[in-house]
Structure 1
C-alpha cells in the first residue's frame, strides 16, 4: 500500500474566504510567462511594489530565486522544467490559499505545463500574463548575459535558442514590454485585477 493512501487532507480553521475578508481583497496568482529578457521579473516586482504600497498582501516567486533553494536539484532538461513548474504551481496554490496575490516570474515554456497549473485554481484565481517581447530585443537586452552564454555553447537547453518556447494560446493578459513603459504595463494588470474584482 502506498504511503499517500494514509495521508488525509486536514481542513484549516481559517478559510481562504476569511483571509479575503480580513485583507480586503481576494487572492490570485499572476503567472508571468515569456522569454528570458522579456521583463517578467521586472514587471512582477513592480506589481508587488504597487500592491505593497497600497496595503495589499502580495509576494513574488522568481524563477532564479526558487532554483537557489526549493528547486536547486533540477536542471533544464524538458522533464526538469516540467517538474520545476509543477512545484511552483503547488507553492503558488498555497500562497493563494493564504489570501496572497502572488506573482510568479518563470519562463514556463510549455503550454501543457501552464494548463496543468491552471487546473489547480478556481475560476479567476489563475491569471496568465504573457510578457511579450520580440526575440531580437530580448537578445539585445540580455540582462544576465544568458543569450551570449547560450550562443557560445556554455548553456544547453536554452529557451528560444536550443529549447522551444510555446506561446500561450489564450492568455488572460498580453503585455508588450517593448511597446509600453513599465508604468503602463503595471496599470494594465492592476486594471485587470480590479475588473475581476480581486481588488476593490
Structure 2
C-alpha cells in the first residue's frame, strides 16, 4: 500500500537551475546501455575521466558497483532487473537535480524500463548511449567469463543467451564498440555534447 498520503513534498530553496549556474554546465544522464562485454563501463569511465579533467561535475553509476550496496538485495530475474533500473533511474534523477552529469553503465535490457527512466526527467536530460557490439564479439571478449557460465547453465536468465536484449531504436548516440577504440568512442560522445552546447 502506498504511503504517499502520509508524506509531503518540500520544495527546495536552491533550485536545479541555481546549481547549474554555479557549475557553469548542464546536468543530465548519459545512459550507457548494451550487452555484457560491449564496453559500456570502460567507455563510460573514459568519458568520466575526460569530463573530470575539464572541471565538470560528473559521477559514474556502474551496474556491478551499485549491486554491492543499493541493489544488493536484487537478483537477475526479469522483475529484479526492472527494479534495479527503476531504483537507478530515481538515483540518477537526484544527481541531475544536484547539478551533476551522471553517467550510468547498465545492461538495462528492456526498452520499457529505459523509457521509464527517460520519462522521469525533463526533455533533453536523458541521453541514451547505445554501445552496439555484436553478441559473438561480446562472447569472444567475455571479460568476466559470464557468457561461458551462461552457456554451461551456471547462470540463468542471462541477457543475450536466455533472456532478451532489446536494442534502442532511436538512441541519441550509437557507438560501434567493435569498430571504434575507446578514445574514438569518447571523441564521438564529447562531440555530441559539444554540438548540443551542454558541456
Aligned to 2:131: 131
Aligned to 1:93: 93
Instruction: State the distance in 2 between where 1:2 and 1:136 align.
Output: 44
Aligned to 2:38: 38
Q: Which runs of 5+ in 1 are unaligned?
A: none
Instruction: State the distance in 1 between where 2:186 and 2:98 align.
Output: 23
Between the two proteins, the alignment pairs up a number of residues equal to: 199
Cα drift, residue 3 of structure 1:
2.4
Instruction: State the distance in 1 between where 2:196 and 2:26 align.
Output: 10
Confirm or deny that 1:196 pairs with 2:185.
Answer: no
Instruction: State the distance in 1 between where 2:138 and 2:110 align.
Output: 19
The DSSP-based 3-state class of the residue aligned with 1:94 is: helix
Aligned to 1:22: 22
Give the root-mean-square deviation of aligned CA atoms: 1.0
Aligned to 1:66: 66
Q: Which string of whole-angstrom CA distances, capped at 9 and with x for unpartnered residues, describes residues 58-107 of structure 1?
A: 00000001111101111111111110000000000000000101110000
Matches within 5 A, 1:45-124: 45-124=45-124
Q: In 2, are the aligned partners of 1:128 and 1:173 still within 8 Å (CA)? A: yes
Q: Which string of whole-angstrom CA distances, capped at 9 and with x for unpartnered residues, describes residues 149-199 of structure 1?
A: 111111111000010000111111100111111111101111111122211
Cα drift, residue 6 of structure 1:
1.9
* Structure-2 change in CA distance of 1:158 and 1:179 (3 Å): same
Instruction: State the distance in 2 between where 1:157 and 1:68 align.
Output: 20
Instruction: State the distance in 2 between where 1:95 and 1:4 align.
Output: 22
Confirm or deny that 1:186 pairs with 2:172.
Answer: no
Cα drift, residue 2 of structure 1:
4.8
Aligned to 2:13: 13
* Structure-2 change in CA distance of 1:145 and 1:2 (3 Å): closer
Aligned to 1:144: 144
Q: Which string of whole-angstrom CA distances, capped at 9 and with x for unpartnered residues, describes residues 10-66 of structure 1?
A: 111211111111111001100000000000000110000000101000000000011
Aligned to 1:172: 172
Instruction: State the distance in 2 between where 1:3 and 1:155 align.
Output: 37
Please report the TM-score for the alignment, with normalisation by the length of structure 1: 0.97
The DSSP-based 3-state class of the residue aligned with 1:46 is: helix
Q: In 2, are the aligned partners of 1:124 and 1:196 still within 8 Å (CA)? A: no
The DSSP-based 3-state class of the residue aligned with 2:187 is: helix
Q: Which runs of 5+ in 2 are unaligned?
A: none
Please report the TM-score for the alignment, with normalisation by the length of structure 2: 0.98
